[in-house]
Amino acid sequence: LASRAFHPEDSVVMVGDLAIGGEEIHVMAGPCAVESREQLLEAARQVKAAGATILRGGAYKPRTSPYSFQGLEEEGLKLLAEARELTGLKVVTEVMDVRTLPLVAEYADILQIGARNMQNFFLLREVARVDKPVLLKRGLSCTIEEWLMAAEYIMSGGNQRVILCERGIRTFENYTRNTLDLTAVPVVKYLSHLPVVVDPSHGIGKWQFVPTMARAAVAAGADGLLIEVHPNPAEALCDGPQSLTPENFAHMMKELRSVARAV
Ligand code: PEP
Ligand code: MN
């Protein structure tokens, strides 16, 4: 179902009135985690002003250490809904398990499946039964074929609205957090009709390199970007080193217009 052979035309995934995979590049931006009302509303206001159309923010966080901030959970979802109300931005947020799926689906416009859950086949089967678009991140060490098979689980379960997200893979290189695999963009577009979004923030892990790779992703044919933006990255509870300030984000958006179809 995900294959280009089965469906020769590019798929456009509608998120309300936004067309992902259409003429315009859509930028999903916001903090790694929802931390507080002030933090989220400030981030939302700023990314909207700079041209983002979708707000990101985790309410449930898959952290390496159980002692790290784990997210505000339902309170975080409510804040995302409030930010949507105030700005008109759509909301993408991660769903980590089957247990919390009904609650997350009540608030999210797009359900994010994180890299660590890309092959959680029970979760994929459950999101397949929800009438919401799914942002399917590529697993930490997953091949393109495994990634497309994960999309196949969602689509064969009844949900055709899958957006793929390249977010970097594990390699021997450790100067960057991951290795952003931009070859995945043309390869996936050759193999599949699904829209592809690139997340340079997690791909690189260092904010200094995010704007350049965002431009490279768009030049390679990405349909959208996922960018972490925090009002005060130095104080972020999660992923501060890879988060842009609102000012740097606005600058990135301006530069993007030199390579993008339309932003
Ligand atoms: C995130 O988007 O904050 C996140 C946890 O991403 P990934 O699953 O790609 O690590
Ligand atoms: Mn993050």
- For the stretch 132-160, pLDDT in tens is 999 999 999 999 999 999 999 999 999 99
The whole-chain average pLDDT of the chain stands at: 97
- pTM, to two decimals: 0.98
Residue 3 lies in a domain: no
Distance 61 CA to ligand 2 centre (A): 8
Q: What residue ranges line ligand 1, CB within 6 angstroms?
A: 32, 58, 62, 114-116, 137, 167, 202
Our count of domains for the chain comes to 1
What is the DSSP pairing of strand 13-15 with strand 18-20? antiparallel
Per-residue model confidence (pLDDT) at position 259: 87
Per-residue model confidence (pLDDT) at position 173: 98
Residue 150 lies in a domain: yes
Atom of ligand 1 at shortest range from CA of 33: 3
Which ligand ends up closest to the CA of 115?
1
Which residue has the CA at smallest separation from atom 10 of ligand 1? 115
Residue 233 lies in a domain: yes
Residue 172 lies in a domain: yes
DSSP string, the chain: --BTTT--SPP-EEETTEEETSSS-EEEEE-SB---HHHHHHHHHHHHHHT--EEE-BSS---SSTTS----THHHHHHHHHHHHHH--EEEEE---TTTHHHHHHH-SEEEEPGGGTT-HHHHHHHTTSSS-EEEEPPTT--HHHHHHHHHHHHHTT---EEEEE--B--S--SSSSB--TTHHHHHHHHB-S-EEE-HHHHH--GGGHHHHHHHHHHTT-SEEEEEB-SSGGG-SS-GGGPBPHHHHHHHHHHHTTT-S--
- pLDDT (average), residues 70-88: 98
What is the DSSP pairing of strand 196-198 with strand 90-94? unpaired
- Which band of pLDDT confidence, cut at 50, 70 and 90, is reported for residue 20? very high
CA torsion sign for 85, 88, 89, 94 is positive
Terminal CA-CA length for the chain:
29
Cβ 109 vs Cβ 131: under 8 Å: no
Cβ 72 vs Cβ 109: under 8 Å: no
Portion of the chain with pLDDT greater than 70, in percent: 99
- How far apart are the C-alpha atoms of 216 and 205, rounded to whole Å? 16
Question: How many Cα atoms sit within 13 Å of 10 on the Cβ side?
Answer: 19
Range of the domain at 50: 13-256
Which ligand ends up closest to the CA of 94?
1
Residue 262 lies in a domain: no
Residue 4 lies in a domain: no
Angle (nearest 5°) at CA 104 between 102 and 110: 115
- Which band of pLDDT confidence, cut at 50, 70 and 90, is reported for residue 260? confident
Residue 146 lies in a domain: yes
Per-residue model confidence (pLDDT) at position 47: 98
**Residue 81 C-alpha from the chain's centroid:** 17
Mutate to test the pocket of ligand 1, among 28, 32, 147, 202 (most ligand atoms within 8 A of CB): 202
Between helix 37-50 and helix 74-87 the angle, nearest 10°, is: 40
Residue 261: pLDDT over 90: no
Angle (nearest 5°) at CA 168 between 20 and 91: 35
User: CATH number for the domain including 102?
Assistant: 3.20.20.70
- pLDDT (average), residues 226-253: 98
Residue 5 lies in a domain: no
